[in-house]
Amino acid sequence: MGQGYFVTGTDTGVGKTTVSCALLRAFAAQGKKAVGMKPVVAGNENGRWHDVEQLIAASNISVTREYINPYAFDSPVSPHIAAQQAGVEIDLAVIQRAYQTLNSQTDVVIVEGAGGFLVPLNAQQTGVDLARALNLPVILVVGMRLGCLNHALLTAQAIKTAGLILAGWVANCIDPQMLMLEENITTLEQRLDCPLLGVMPFDLEMDIQKSIELLEITKLGLFCDIDDSMQFELSHDKRNISGDDLLSDLRRVASIQLEQQVKQQNYRNQGKFGVTTIIRRFGSWNAAVDAAGLETTVERNISNEKLFTALYELWIALGRQPNYSEVQKPACKFHVATFERRFGSWRQALEAFVSYANSENMIVPIDKGSSVVASRQTTRCPDLRLRFKVLQRDRFCCCACGASPSITPGIVLEIDHIKPWSKGGETVIENLQTLCASCNQGKTNDY
Protein backbone atom coordinates (compact mmCIF):
# COMPACT_ATOMS: atom_id res chain seq x y z
CA MET A 1 0.00 0.00 0.00
CA GLY A 2 1.27 3.39 -0.92
CA GLN A 3 0.75 6.83 0.50
CA GLY A 4 -1.57 9.36 -1.09
CA TYR A 5 -1.96 13.11 -0.94
CA PHE A 6 -4.89 15.21 -2.02
CA VAL A 7 -3.86 18.45 -3.71
CA THR A 8 -6.34 21.29 -3.49
CA GLY A 9 -6.06 24.99 -4.29
CA THR A 10 -7.35 28.35 -3.15
CA ASP A 11 -9.18 28.61 -6.46
CA THR A 12 -9.23 27.18 -9.94
CA GLY A 13 -6.21 28.07 -12.07
CA VAL A 14 -3.80 28.60 -9.15
CA GLY A 15 -1.31 25.96 -10.25
CA LYS A 16 -2.49 22.69 -8.68
CA THR A 17 -1.28 20.74 -11.70
CA THR A 18 2.14 22.41 -11.72
CA VAL A 19 2.58 21.65 -8.04
CA SER A 20 1.20 18.09 -8.38
CA CYS A 21 3.67 17.42 -11.19
CA ALA A 22 6.56 18.84 -9.15
CA LEU A 23 5.51 16.60 -6.21
CA LEU A 24 5.37 13.55 -8.45
CA ARG A 25 8.84 14.25 -9.82
CA ALA A 26 10.23 14.95 -6.36
CA PHE A 27 8.93 11.58 -5.09
CA ALA A 28 10.22 9.86 -8.24
CA ALA A 29 13.64 11.42 -7.63
CA GLN A 30 13.63 9.63 -4.26
CA GLY A 31 13.16 6.33 -6.02
CA LYS A 32 9.44 6.07 -5.28
CA LYS A 33 6.89 4.80 -7.77
CA ALA A 34 4.66 7.84 -8.12
CA VAL A 35 1.49 8.33 -10.11
CA GLY A 36 -0.82 11.32 -10.54
CA MET A 37 -4.59 11.06 -10.43
CA LYS A 38 -7.16 13.57 -11.65
CA PRO A 39 -10.51 12.07 -10.63
CA VAL A 40 -12.57 14.74 -12.41
CA VAL A 41 -11.51 17.03 -15.23
CA ALA A 42 -13.67 19.50 -17.13
CA GLY A 43 -12.66 21.33 -20.29
CA ASN A 44 -10.83 19.78 -23.20
CA GLU A 45 -8.80 21.50 -25.87
CA ASN A 46 -8.63 19.71 -29.20
CA GLY A 47 -9.51 16.42 -27.62
CA ARG A 48 -6.90 16.70 -24.86
CA TRP A 49 -7.25 17.33 -21.17
CA HIS A 50 -4.07 19.15 -20.32
CA ASP A 51 -4.08 18.53 -16.58
CA VAL A 52 -4.37 14.79 -17.13
CA GLU A 53 -1.66 14.77 -19.82
CA GLN A 54 0.71 16.65 -17.56
CA LEU A 55 0.11 14.34 -14.61
CA ILE A 56 0.69 11.29 -16.79
CA ALA A 57 3.92 12.81 -18.10
CA ALA A 58 5.14 13.49 -14.56
CA SER A 59 4.30 9.97 -13.28
CA ASN A 60 7.05 7.37 -13.45
CA ILE A 61 4.85 4.35 -13.88
CA SER A 62 2.15 3.83 -16.45
CA VAL A 63 -1.34 2.87 -15.41
CA THR A 64 -4.59 2.55 -17.34
CA ARG A 65 -6.08 5.95 -17.91
CA GLU A 66 -9.50 5.01 -16.56
CA TYR A 67 -7.96 4.79 -13.09
CA ILE A 68 -5.99 8.00 -13.44
CA ASN A 69 -8.98 9.95 -14.71
CA PRO A 70 -12.37 8.29 -14.17
CA TYR A 71 -14.36 11.37 -15.22
CA ALA A 72 -13.52 13.67 -18.14
CA PHE A 73 -15.93 16.28 -19.49
CA ASP A 74 -15.70 18.58 -22.46
CA SER A 75 -17.09 21.86 -21.11
CA PRO A 76 -14.73 24.05 -19.12
CA VAL A 77 -17.35 24.58 -16.36
CA SER A 78 -17.92 23.36 -12.80
CA PRO A 79 -17.79 19.53 -12.71
CA HIS A 80 -21.39 19.02 -11.57
CA ILE A 81 -22.68 21.15 -14.45
CA ALA A 82 -20.35 19.52 -16.98
CA ALA A 83 -21.49 16.10 -15.74
CA GLN A 84 -25.14 17.09 -15.95
CA GLN A 85 -24.65 18.28 -19.55
CA ALA A 86 -23.03 14.96 -20.35
CA GLY A 87 -25.85 13.03 -18.64
CA VAL A 88 -23.47 11.54 -16.08
CA GLU A 89 -23.50 11.54 -12.30
CA ILE A 90 -20.12 11.64 -10.59
CA ASP A 91 -19.98 8.72 -8.18
CA LEU A 92 -17.41 8.90 -5.40
CA ALA A 93 -17.38 5.11 -5.07
CA VAL A 94 -16.04 4.85 -8.63
CA ILE A 95 -13.25 7.29 -7.74
CA GLN A 96 -12.52 5.43 -4.52
CA ARG A 97 -12.09 2.12 -6.37
CA ALA A 98 -9.84 3.74 -8.98
CA TYR A 99 -7.72 5.27 -6.20
CA GLN A 100 -7.38 1.91 -4.46
CA THR A 101 -6.18 0.33 -7.68
CA LEU A 102 -3.53 3.02 -8.16
CA ASN A 103 -2.57 2.84 -4.52
CA SER A 104 -2.02 -0.92 -4.68
CA GLN A 105 0.42 -0.51 -7.58
CA THR A 106 2.50 2.44 -6.38
CA ASP A 107 4.32 4.08 -3.50
CA VAL A 108 2.75 7.51 -3.86
CA VAL A 109 -0.48 8.71 -5.46
CA ILE A 110 -0.93 12.45 -5.92
CA VAL A 111 -4.65 13.16 -6.32
CA GLU A 112 -5.40 16.52 -7.85
CA GLY A 113 -8.84 17.89 -6.98
CA ALA A 114 -10.97 19.87 -9.41
CA GLY A 115 -11.13 23.64 -8.82
CA GLY A 116 -11.22 24.80 -5.20
CA PHE A 117 -11.94 22.62 -2.17
CA LEU A 118 -15.71 23.13 -2.03
CA VAL A 119 -16.43 22.80 -5.73
CA PRO A 120 -19.68 20.84 -6.26
CA LEU A 121 -19.28 17.40 -7.86
CA ASN A 122 -22.92 16.32 -8.03
CA ALA A 123 -26.26 17.35 -6.58
CA GLN A 124 -25.12 16.74 -3.01
CA GLN A 125 -21.39 16.29 -2.82
CA THR A 126 -18.36 18.54 -3.16
CA GLY A 127 -14.59 18.22 -3.30
CA VAL A 128 -14.68 17.95 0.51
CA ASP A 129 -16.61 14.68 0.25
CA LEU A 130 -14.13 13.41 -2.28
CA ALA A 131 -11.15 14.22 -0.03
CA ARG A 132 -12.97 12.56 2.89
CA ALA A 133 -13.88 9.49 0.87
CA LEU A 134 -10.20 9.02 0.04
CA ASN A 135 -9.19 10.08 3.57
CA LEU A 136 -5.92 11.62 2.47
CA PRO A 137 -3.71 14.31 3.96
CA VAL A 138 -4.25 17.51 2.00
CA ILE A 139 -1.67 19.75 0.35
CA LEU A 140 -2.93 23.28 -0.25
CA VAL A 141 -1.69 25.27 -3.24
CA VAL A 142 -2.08 28.97 -2.58
CA GLY A 143 -2.13 31.10 -5.72
CA MET A 144 -0.33 34.19 -4.42
CA ARG A 145 -2.42 37.20 -5.40
CA LEU A 146 -4.59 39.80 -3.73
CA GLY A 147 -7.34 37.99 -1.78
CA CYS A 148 -5.36 34.79 -1.29
CA LEU A 149 -5.08 35.15 2.50
CA ASN A 150 -8.82 34.90 2.93
CA HIS A 151 -9.09 32.05 0.43
CA ALA A 152 -6.21 30.16 2.02
CA LEU A 153 -7.52 30.51 5.58
CA LEU A 154 -11.07 29.56 4.58
CA THR A 155 -9.78 26.50 2.76
CA ALA A 156 -7.60 25.49 5.71
CA GLN A 157 -10.61 25.83 7.99
CA ALA A 158 -12.74 23.67 5.70
CA ILE A 159 -10.00 21.01 5.67
CA LYS A 160 -9.83 21.00 9.45
CA THR A 161 -13.62 20.92 9.78
CA ALA A 162 -13.70 17.93 7.43
CA GLY A 163 -11.43 16.15 9.92
CA LEU A 164 -8.61 15.94 7.41
CA ILE A 165 -4.94 16.66 7.91
CA LEU A 166 -3.47 19.73 6.26
CA ALA A 167 -0.06 18.22 5.52
CA GLY A 168 1.57 21.25 3.94
CA TRP A 169 1.08 24.22 1.67
CA VAL A 170 2.83 25.63 -1.37
CA ALA A 171 3.02 29.30 -2.28
CA ASN A 172 2.63 29.53 -6.04
CA CYS A 173 3.50 33.01 -7.26
CA ILE A 174 1.02 33.48 -10.08
CA ASP A 175 0.92 37.26 -10.09
CA PRO A 176 4.23 38.97 -10.92
CA GLN A 177 2.69 42.33 -9.89
CA MET A 178 1.60 41.23 -6.43
CA LEU A 179 2.45 43.78 -3.77
CA MET A 180 3.94 42.67 -0.46
CA LEU A 181 4.44 39.09 -1.62
CA GLU A 182 6.92 38.23 1.15
CA GLU A 183 4.65 39.69 3.84
CA ASN A 184 1.74 37.66 2.53
CA ILE A 185 3.78 34.46 2.57
CA THR A 186 4.94 35.20 6.12
CA THR A 187 1.36 35.84 7.21
CA LEU A 188 0.28 32.45 5.92
CA GLU A 189 3.30 30.74 7.45
CA GLN A 190 2.20 32.12 10.80
CA ARG A 191 -1.44 31.23 10.40
CA LEU A 192 -1.54 27.94 8.54
CA ASP A 193 -0.89 25.13 10.96
CA CYS A 194 1.30 23.11 8.58
CA PRO A 195 4.72 23.36 6.93
CA LEU A 196 5.39 25.54 3.90
CA LEU A 197 6.71 23.01 1.40
CA GLY A 198 8.06 25.58 -1.00
CA VAL A 199 7.64 28.83 -2.88
CA MET A 200 7.23 28.49 -6.63
CA PRO A 201 8.37 31.72 -8.28
CA PHE A 202 6.60 33.34 -11.19
CA ASP A 203 8.68 31.83 -13.94
CA LEU A 204 7.11 30.48 -17.06
CA GLU A 205 10.43 29.12 -18.23
CA MET A 206 11.09 27.18 -15.05
CA ASP A 207 12.58 23.81 -15.83
CA ILE A 208 11.50 20.56 -14.29
CA GLN A 209 14.63 20.08 -12.21
CA LYS A 210 14.21 23.49 -10.62
CA SER A 211 10.57 22.85 -9.70
CA ILE A 212 11.61 19.63 -7.93
CA GLU A 213 14.28 21.40 -5.93
CA LEU A 214 11.85 24.08 -4.79
CA LEU A 215 9.66 21.62 -2.90
CA GLU A 216 10.80 20.09 0.36
CA ILE A 217 8.84 16.88 0.41
CA THR A 218 10.81 15.67 3.42
CA LYS A 219 8.54 17.99 5.41
CA LEU A 220 5.75 15.60 4.46
CA GLY A 221 7.80 12.73 5.93
CA LEU A 222 5.70 12.81 9.06
CA PHE A 223 2.71 11.70 7.14
CA CYS A 224 4.20 8.44 5.95
CA ASP A 225 1.64 5.82 6.73
CA ILE A 226 3.24 3.82 9.48
CA ASP A 227 1.17 0.98 10.70
CA ASP A 228 1.82 -1.09 13.79
CA SER A 229 2.02 -4.23 11.72
CA MET A 230 4.94 -2.73 9.82
CA GLN A 231 6.83 -1.92 12.99
CA PHE A 232 9.88 -4.04 12.30
CA GLU A 233 10.27 -3.38 8.61
CA LEU A 234 10.13 0.32 9.27
CA SER A 235 12.23 0.45 12.40
CA HIS A 236 14.84 2.52 10.59
CA ASP A 237 12.28 5.16 9.62
CA LYS A 238 10.82 5.21 13.08
CA ARG A 239 14.05 6.35 14.65
CA ASN A 240 13.72 9.52 12.63
CA ILE A 241 10.40 10.43 14.20
CA SER A 242 11.05 12.81 17.03
CA GLY A 243 9.14 12.73 20.30
CA ASP A 244 7.82 16.18 19.42
CA ASP A 245 6.33 14.84 16.20
CA LEU A 246 4.51 12.14 18.14
CA LEU A 247 3.22 14.61 20.71
CA SER A 248 2.07 17.16 18.17
CA ASP A 249 0.15 14.46 16.37
CA LEU A 250 -1.53 13.46 19.62
CA ARG A 251 -2.57 17.07 20.10
CA ARG A 252 -3.81 17.24 16.52
CA VAL A 253 -6.03 14.20 17.04
CA ALA A 254 -7.29 15.71 20.32
CA SER A 255 -8.26 18.90 18.53
CA ILE A 256 -10.05 17.09 15.71
CA GLN A 257 -12.06 15.14 18.22
CA LEU A 258 -12.56 18.10 20.52
CA GLU A 259 -11.54 15.79 23.32
CA GLN A 260 -9.31 16.61 26.21
CA GLN A 261 -8.54 12.94 26.53
CA VAL A 262 -7.27 10.90 23.59
CA LYS A 263 -8.05 7.22 23.77
CA GLN A 264 -5.84 4.69 22.03
CA GLN A 265 -8.76 3.52 19.92
CA ASN A 266 -9.45 7.01 18.61
CA TYR A 267 -5.80 7.61 17.94
CA ARG A 268 -5.64 4.40 15.91
CA ASN A 269 -8.35 5.75 13.64
CA GLN A 270 -6.96 9.21 13.15
CA GLY A 271 -3.33 9.24 14.18
CA LYS A 272 -0.38 9.20 11.83
CA PHE A 273 1.78 6.93 13.92
CA GLY A 274 1.37 3.57 15.58
CA VAL A 275 0.03 3.38 19.12
CA THR A 276 2.86 0.97 19.96
CA THR A 277 5.43 3.44 18.68
CA ILE A 278 4.09 6.05 21.07
CA ILE A 279 3.92 3.69 24.02
CA ARG A 280 7.48 2.52 23.42
CA ARG A 281 8.76 6.05 23.21
CA PHE A 282 7.04 7.36 26.33
CA GLY A 283 6.76 4.24 28.45
CA SER A 284 2.97 4.22 28.59
CA TRP A 285 0.00 5.70 26.77
CA ASN A 286 -0.88 7.97 29.69
CA ALA A 287 2.69 9.22 29.94
CA ALA A 288 2.51 10.27 26.28
CA VAL A 289 -0.88 11.93 26.72
CA ASP A 290 0.46 13.77 29.75
CA ALA A 291 3.62 14.84 27.90
CA ALA A 292 1.40 16.18 25.13
CA GLY A 293 -0.27 18.42 27.70
CA LEU A 294 -3.58 16.63 27.40
CA GLU A 295 -5.71 15.31 30.19
CA THR A 296 -5.11 11.74 31.22
CA THR A 297 -8.41 11.63 33.02
CA VAL A 298 -11.47 13.59 32.13
CA GLU A 299 -12.30 16.12 34.79
CA ARG A 300 -16.03 16.54 34.63
CA ASN A 301 -18.08 19.54 35.61
CA ILE A 302 -15.22 22.00 35.57
CA SER A 303 -16.77 25.30 36.64
CA ASN A 304 -16.66 28.36 34.40
CA GLU A 305 -14.87 30.08 37.25
CA LYS A 306 -12.05 27.52 37.04
CA LEU A 307 -11.80 27.89 33.29
CA PHE A 308 -11.77 31.68 33.60
CA THR A 309 -9.09 31.51 36.25
CA ALA A 310 -6.92 29.36 33.98
CA LEU A 311 -7.54 31.80 31.14
CA TYR A 312 -6.68 34.74 33.38
CA GLU A 313 -3.42 33.10 34.42
CA LEU A 314 -2.49 32.46 30.81
CA TRP A 315 -3.41 36.00 29.82
CA ILE A 316 -1.37 37.61 32.59
CA ALA A 317 1.61 35.34 31.86
CA LEU A 318 1.59 36.47 28.22
CA GLY A 319 0.66 40.08 28.93
CA ARG A 320 -1.86 39.94 26.10
CA GLN A 321 -4.75 37.96 24.69
CA PRO A 322 -3.69 34.32 24.27
CA ASN A 323 -3.78 32.71 20.83
CA TYR A 324 -5.49 29.41 20.17
CA SER A 325 -2.16 27.62 19.87
CA GLU A 326 -0.97 28.97 23.22
CA VAL A 327 -3.66 27.18 25.21
CA GLN A 328 -1.38 24.34 26.23
CA LYS A 329 0.16 22.85 29.31
CA PRO A 330 1.97 23.96 31.35
CA ALA A 331 0.90 27.56 30.66
CA CYS A 332 -2.76 26.57 30.76
CA LYS A 333 -3.99 23.61 32.77
CA PHE A 334 -6.95 22.90 30.49
CA HIS A 335 -6.91 21.76 26.91
CA VAL A 336 -8.27 24.17 24.33
CA ALA A 337 -10.94 21.59 23.46
CA THR A 338 -12.35 21.98 26.96
CA PHE A 339 -12.94 25.68 26.25
CA GLU A 340 -14.33 24.89 22.82
CA ARG A 341 -16.84 22.42 24.17
CA ARG A 342 -17.96 24.73 26.93
CA PHE A 343 -18.22 27.94 24.94
CA GLY A 344 -18.52 26.79 21.33
CA SER A 345 -15.14 28.03 20.14
CA TRP A 346 -11.95 29.55 21.47
CA ARG A 347 -13.10 32.95 20.26
CA GLN A 348 -16.39 32.59 22.16
CA ALA A 349 -14.50 31.47 25.26
CA LEU A 350 -12.46 34.68 25.09
CA GLU A 351 -15.60 36.74 24.66
CA ALA A 352 -17.29 35.02 27.60
CA PHE A 353 -14.23 35.65 29.75
CA VAL A 354 -13.95 39.32 28.79
CA SER A 355 -17.61 39.98 29.45
CA TYR A 356 -17.32 38.12 32.76
CA ALA A 357 -14.23 40.14 33.69
CA ASN A 358 -15.91 43.40 32.78
CA SER A 359 -19.15 42.66 34.58
CA GLU A 360 -19.79 44.29 37.96
CA ASN A 361 -17.89 42.85 40.88
CA MET A 362 -19.95 40.87 43.26
CA ILE A 363 -20.22 42.53 46.62
CA VAL A 364 -18.21 40.43 49.01
CA PRO A 365 -19.90 40.75 52.38
CA ILE A 366 -17.52 41.67 55.12
CA ASP A 367 -17.44 39.33 58.04
CA LYS A 368 -18.32 41.74 60.82
CA GLY A 369 -17.30 39.15 63.37
CA SER A 370 -13.66 39.70 62.53
CA SER A 371 -12.20 42.59 64.49
CA VAL A 372 -9.48 43.29 61.93
CA VAL A 373 -11.84 44.03 59.10
CA ALA A 374 -14.56 45.64 61.14
CA SER A 375 -13.81 49.11 59.81
CA ARG A 376 -13.13 48.09 56.19
CA GLN A 377 -15.26 48.45 53.10
CA THR A 378 -13.41 45.84 51.07
CA THR A 379 -11.50 42.63 51.54
CA ARG A 380 -7.76 42.67 51.03
CA CYS A 381 -7.65 40.39 48.06
CA PRO A 382 -9.03 41.72 44.75
CA ASP A 383 -11.10 39.13 42.92
CA LEU A 384 -10.31 37.84 39.47
CA ARG A 385 -12.42 40.45 37.72
CA LEU A 386 -10.91 43.36 39.57
CA ARG A 387 -7.40 42.07 38.96
CA PHE A 388 -8.14 41.73 35.26
CA LYS A 389 -9.58 45.26 35.10
CA VAL A 390 -6.46 46.69 36.73
CA LEU A 391 -4.26 44.82 34.26
CA GLN A 392 -6.37 45.98 31.33
CA ARG A 393 -6.24 49.58 32.50
CA ASP A 394 -2.45 49.36 32.89
CA ARG A 395 -2.13 47.58 29.52
CA PHE A 396 -0.38 44.64 31.15
CA CYS A 397 2.66 46.79 31.92
CA CYS A 398 4.42 47.47 35.21
CA CYS A 399 3.39 50.97 36.39
CA ALA A 400 6.91 51.58 37.77
CA CYS A 401 9.23 50.37 35.03
CA GLY A 402 6.96 49.67 32.06
CA ALA A 403 8.00 46.02 31.72
CA SER A 404 5.46 43.65 30.15
CA PRO A 405 5.46 39.90 29.51
CA SER A 406 4.24 40.62 25.98
CA ILE A 407 7.63 42.22 25.29
CA THR A 408 9.80 40.35 27.78
CA PRO A 409 8.52 36.81 28.29
CA GLY A 410 8.96 35.70 31.86
CA ILE A 411 8.08 39.04 33.46
CA VAL A 412 5.64 38.32 36.28
CA LEU A 413 2.95 40.93 36.92
CA GLU A 414 1.39 41.45 40.32
CA ILE A 415 -1.43 43.63 41.59
CA ASP A 416 -0.38 46.01 44.35
CA HIS A 417 -2.28 48.38 46.65
CA ILE A 418 -1.07 51.97 46.15
CA LYS A 419 -2.03 52.89 49.70
CA PRO A 420 -1.38 49.68 51.63
CA TRP A 421 -4.46 47.83 52.78
CA SER A 422 -2.92 47.54 56.25
CA LYS A 423 -2.85 51.36 56.41
CA GLY A 424 -6.45 51.78 55.39
CA GLY A 425 -6.15 51.57 51.60
CA GLU A 426 -9.21 49.96 50.05
CA THR A 427 -9.29 47.25 47.40
CA VAL A 428 -10.79 49.40 44.65
CA ILE A 429 -9.51 49.96 41.14
CA GLU A 430 -8.32 53.50 41.94
CA ASN A 431 -6.09 52.17 44.71
CA LEU A 432 -4.64 49.27 42.74
CA GLN A 433 -1.78 49.16 40.26
CA THR A 434 0.14 46.65 38.20
CA LEU A 435 3.75 46.08 39.20
CA CYS A 436 6.30 43.59 37.95
CA ALA A 437 7.64 41.19 40.56
CA SER A 438 10.97 43.00 40.87
CA CYS A 439 9.40 46.45 41.33
CA ASN A 440 6.97 44.94 43.83
CA GLN A 441 9.77 43.29 45.78
CA GLY A 442 9.69 43.55 49.50
CA LYS A 443 5.96 44.21 49.57
CA THR A 444 3.55 41.61 50.69
CA ASN A 445 1.95 39.83 47.81
CA ASP A 446 -1.66 40.85 47.71
CA TYR A 447 -3.12 37.53 46.76
When the beta carbons of 250 and 439 are compared against Zn ion, the nearer one is 439
List strand residue ranges (DSSP E) for 232-278, in order. none
Check: CB of residue 124 under 8 Å from CB of residue 162: no
- The answer to whether 79 and 56 are in contact (CB under 8 A) is no
Nearer CB in complex with Zn ion: 108/399: 399
Binding flag, residue 1, Zn ion (CB under 5 A): no
CA distance linking residue 340 with residue 164, whole number of Å: 19
Burial of residue 381 (number of CB atoms within 10 Å: 0-12, 13-18, 19+): middle
By CB under 5 A, is residue 130 in contact with Zn ion? Answer: no
Find out whether 164 and 136 touch, Cβ atoms under 8 Å. Answer: yes
CB 436, min distance to Zn ion, A: 3
DSSP 189-203: HHHSSS-EEEEE-S-
For Zn ion, which is the closer residue by CB, 14 or 439? 439
CB of 154 or CB of 400, closer to Zn ion: 400
Segment interacting with Zn ion (CB under 5 A) among 101-109, 213-221, 274-282, 438-446? 438-446
Q: Per-residue string for binding with Zn ion, 293-312, x by CB under 5 A?
A: --------------------
Cα separation of the two ends of the chain: 60
Q: Which stretch binds Zn ion (CB under 5 A): 74-82, 186-194, 349-357, 435-443?
A: 435-443
Q: Give 438's Cβ-side CA count (13 Å radius).
A: 7
Known catalytic residues are 38
State the DSSP H helix or E strand holding residue 50, giving kind and residue range, or none if neither.
helix 50-58
| Binder among 52, 171, 278, 436 for Zn ion (CB under 5 A) | 436
- State in angstroms the smallest separation of the CB of 421 from Zn ion: 20
Q: Is 412 in the site for Zn ion (CB under 5 A)?
A: no
Asked if 437 and 416 touch (Cβ cutoff 8 Å), the reply is no
Position 400 contacts Zn ion (CB under 5 A): yes
Q: d(Cα 126, Cα 357) in Å, to the nearest integer? A: 43
Site for Zn ion in 346-375 (CB under 5 A): none
Contact pick of 57, 364, 401, 428 for Zn ion (by CB under 5 A): 401
Single out the residue of 19, 82, 439, 446 in contact with Zn ion (rule: CB under 5 A). Answer: 439
Binding site for Zn ion (CB under 5 A): 398, 400-401, 403, 436, 439
